[in-house]
Chain A
């Protein structure tokens, strides 16, 4: 019996010691300091070197670009450039720069700095080109040269007119870094960043936190917060638990199933539809989907309303066409989503003689912007089987999936899940719907859709510098593509975030960037 008593005492003592130690760790987070639960550790804080939305969320608060998206839209407005002129032929952009702006390291922002930024990315002989690689430099591949006209004027010359140029400048890849900081830190600049933004970099504790603090001299007014701490919490359940336990003040990308946890008064759920579209690529080259009637039947057979409400718990809206409504100026308001009409779908399948066709359906396990791909895939399979198809799902891990889908579906599959998030209405259709964008030509048109009229409209829209003219072209393109149905248009994601009730004045942007300058924490 002695032994037993001893162990019982030991266990009790150990338990009590644990509890006594635990209490000091649960202190409240201080006011003025916002703790954000991020989905991953950032790669670097060098805007030219990173590609992930996760990293952009930090960068947009540390840097400015020449232009930015105005609040709540995807339309560009002045930022570090106060105004600009575009030449008649659309190949010369001259920017007047804001006076008196300084980088966080004290050096001056001027035309030389702008030239340094773009030369570093684009010119392989630039002394600091080796601080890359710069995977998204092709956003500016149309830029032939950048010229310093005077200290506050800079001129970009393009090799050909390229309408998305301004909105690419508003993308994080176009953010302006301090040349002095690049020169002194070299390849380590990504861990010692310096920009002109509302917050300046303070500290990066690997795998724990990135801390940024207020820049009181910000040209657009000092931020209200003292500091922001970005914590990487890769597991969505743990992120939810941290939010519930009060360990973080704000959490992005709340899993749909966790939303109900945050219905109480002490939380605010924020939503914003963004430039995202979730669709199924249909193989128009071989198999049943060569017939437009069968493609339309697939669009009619899938119950998209049920997908967004039941599977995605209302975190997305039904998509009508290839362009997300977030591009308000280019979106065709008159498009109605394909209704859920299995009867009509069956009729079309009968007409086309495709009853009982066997379909191979590529599904991914996860991936950027893919939402809940397995659950969505099985729901889609059930809807398609209800109208008489025989659907076989093949599931792949995300990078493997891309390796299967991007080279084209020919000989492998009839349909595949896909999702895109872009910053300009040009990007997705140009890269994924043109005849010249078939996989063998280096594009993402993995279903081999081809329509001369669409090709023509997209080429015209890319070189037109007048926004109204571009809008007209895109709207016409959307009508044709919806009718041709090379994809099943499924959903537009509404990005969400949860904040505690101590956080005020926060909203999400359609760009999906996280802008924290005006946020208050009590």
Chain B
């Protein structure tokens, strides 16, 4: 097992290296430069040249890349132009906020998605199945940012039950109940689509398992229906559900970008959007590399979990 994990970790290195090249090239190739973005109306060629020199952007691209990579390998992600603080501080702080949001949404979509899928499969073509399938289709079809805005209008503006935006109250607050009250709407909006996907795939995975011989055997030897579904069938179905959860984790992480914009959640997605618009090169590069690394790591975790559940997968 340790060998398998080590092998997977080693294979992640070229992937990460490729990501640094791609993100560097994209930032270098998109039109517009940080000096023009900073200077705005006053971006005369003369001023741009001087500012580029001050920012260290007058060096050849290849040199810039290797300086950046070299610094990063030593743990120095550089300084954000637009925020005037170290990239790594900003990324870590923001990533923490994203983890809280995406993590909550991930737990919600896993729990409710699997639950809905199992119930649906157990009562195939019954009223519960039809109701759940309808709700799931509705959930998959609503764009999450639209759902978010509607939630803000109803629960934030009209009913005033929940705060509209941010992560903590500006005045007072800062404790757990405060965080949860700010988290409810964005986490729900983010979880809805993923819940639908998980529910549909759990349903079909369960249906497939329920048709197999060992289930008939279990029923024949008198295991209760509840035991058959939760203990025998779900455990077998998890082998095909877990990779779906892995994909949904990535989906929730990327979906967090719109949700963070709508709810002004101070996460890494909103940070990246702002940074791209301001051509804050080092912040974009550092942020993308960091998020990509986390994603790669998460995928390895999913593979490992799957191999633990299913001994047929070679380690």
Contacts and interface: CB of A to CB of B under 8 A. Distances in A.
A19 interface: yes
Contact of A29 (B54, B161, B171): B171
Nearest to A15: B184
Interface size class of B (residues with CB under 8 A): 35 or more
A238 B262 contact: yes
Chain B contact residues: helix, strand, loop or mixed: helix
B297 to A, nearest CB: 25
B142 interface: no
A238 B164 contact: yes
Contacts of B169: 25, 27
Contacts of A135: 35, 38-39, 42, 47, 51
Given A25-B162, A33-B171, A400-B32, A49 B84 contact: yes
A148 B45 CA distance: 34
B226 interface: yes
B46 A208 contact: no
B93 A402 contact: no
A422 to B, nearest CB: 8
Given A24-B177, A368-B40, A241 B45 contact: no
Contacts of B162: 22, 25-26
A208 B164 contact: no
Given A25-B173, A25-B182, A368-B40, A399 B156 contact: no
Interface string A276-318: 0000000000000000000000000000000000000000000
Nearest to B166: A208
B38 to A, nearest CB: 5
B122 A234 contact: no
Chain A contact residues: helix, strand, loop or mixed: mixed
B85 to A, nearest CB: 7
Contacts of A208: 166-168, 170, 266
Given A18-B184, A234-B264, A442-B45, A244 B119 contact: no
B181 interface: yes
A403 B165 contact: no
A203 to B, nearest CB: 11
Given A138-B42, A235-B261, A190 B84 contact: yes
B74 interface: no
B161 A19 contact: yes
A229 B170 contact: yes
Nearest to A235: B261
Interface of A: 2-4, 7, 18-19, 21-27, 29-30, 33, 35, 40-41, 43-44, 49, 51-52, 132-133, 135-136, 138, 190-191, 206-209, 229, 231-235, 237-238, 241-242, 244-247, 368-369, 396-400, 402-404, 406, 420-422, 431, 442-444
Interface of B: 30-33, 35-47, 51, 54-55, 82-85, 90, 93-94, 115-116, 118-119, 122-123, 128, 149, 152-153, 156-157, 160-173, 177-178, 180-182, 184, 226, 229, 261-264, 266, 270-271, 274, 277, 279
